[in-house]
């Protein structure tokens, strides 16, 4: 499994020729290093509806003629924008061609801003993505919560993306505990440094992870972790 980071919380996962992108904020993030038009994928997965995660999902889904997989209300909204969509909900899983998606809880909020109106986008979630016998967990935007222990008990997580930005999600110290609870072998810190208020030292976070026996990877945009 190859896991490529494109800044903020954008992750591309590839295994056996199947490619899935999660939370593709690309054109709205100068540090992504890639344009939406360059993305070739079989599916887009969204953790929630906020603009820094919704990103370029509609453009990417349309140009690849692939589905956006999201919590039901958010999937319906994507369908209304002309994209193929597949609605799910927290705790549910679905098998697709070459990969499986399961949505986990995440403690956050989820909405879409359209002019002066806020549209309810369902519950926020985390994503467990299984491809080629490997399991990747994208926690989405979330605080630390006790059932992360359960996620770790129920899944053999090879790699995880955990937010460390603080203010809007958990910070480094909570993420350090989350990494241990989910029993991840590898952790990629995400959702930091994109805008003021979430500046963090990802390398320092990964150094602390190493003291617990977990490998941390402070990837730069465009870098890939192979597991």
Q: Domains of the chain, with CATH numbers?
A: 2-217 (3.60.15.10)
Average of per-residue pLDDT across 75-100: 98
Whole-number average pLDDT of the chain? 98
Rg value, the chain, Cα = 16
- Asked whether the predicted pLDDT for residue 18 surpasses 90, the reply is yes
- Asked whether the predicted pLDDT for residue 17 surpasses 90, the reply is yes
Apex 33 CA angle, 81 and 59, nearest 5:
10
Q: Which pLDDT band holds residue 14 (cuts at 50, 70, 90)? A: very high
Whether the CB-CB separation of 207 and 217 falls below 8 Å is answered with no
Q: How confident is the model at residue 89, as a pLDDT? A: 98
Q: How confident is the model at residue 30, as a pLDDT? A: 86
Work out the percent of the chain whose per-residue pLDDT is above 70. 100
């Amino acid at each position: 499994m190859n896991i490529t980071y494109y800044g903020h919380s954008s992750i591309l996962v590839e295994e056996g020729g199947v490619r899935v992108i999660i939370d593709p904020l690309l054109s709205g993030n100068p540090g992504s290093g890639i344009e939406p038009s360059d993305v070739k994928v079989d599916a887009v997965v969204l953790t929630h509806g906020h603009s820094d995660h919704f990103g370029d999902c509609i453009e990417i889904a349309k140009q690849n003629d692939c589905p956006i997989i999201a919590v039901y209300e958010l999937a319906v909204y994507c369908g209304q924008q002309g994209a193929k969509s597949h609605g799910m909900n927290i705790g549910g899983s679905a098998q697709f061609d070459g990969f499986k998606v399961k949505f986990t809880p995440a403690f956050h909020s989820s909405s879409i801003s359209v002019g002066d109106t806020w549209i309810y986008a369902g519950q926020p979630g985390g994503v467990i993505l299984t491809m080629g016998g490997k399991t990747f967990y994208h926690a989405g935007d979330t605080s630390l919560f006790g059932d992360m222990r359960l996620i770790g008990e129920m899944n053999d997580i090879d790699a995880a993306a955990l937010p460390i930005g603080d203010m809007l999600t958990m910070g480094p110290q909570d993420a350090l505990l989350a990494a241990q609870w989910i029993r991840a072998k590898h952790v990629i810190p995400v959702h930091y440094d994109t805008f003021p208020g979430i500046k963090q030292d990802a390398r320092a976070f990964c150094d602390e992870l190493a003291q617990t026996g977990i490998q941390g990877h402070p990837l730069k945009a465009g870098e890939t972790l192979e597991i």
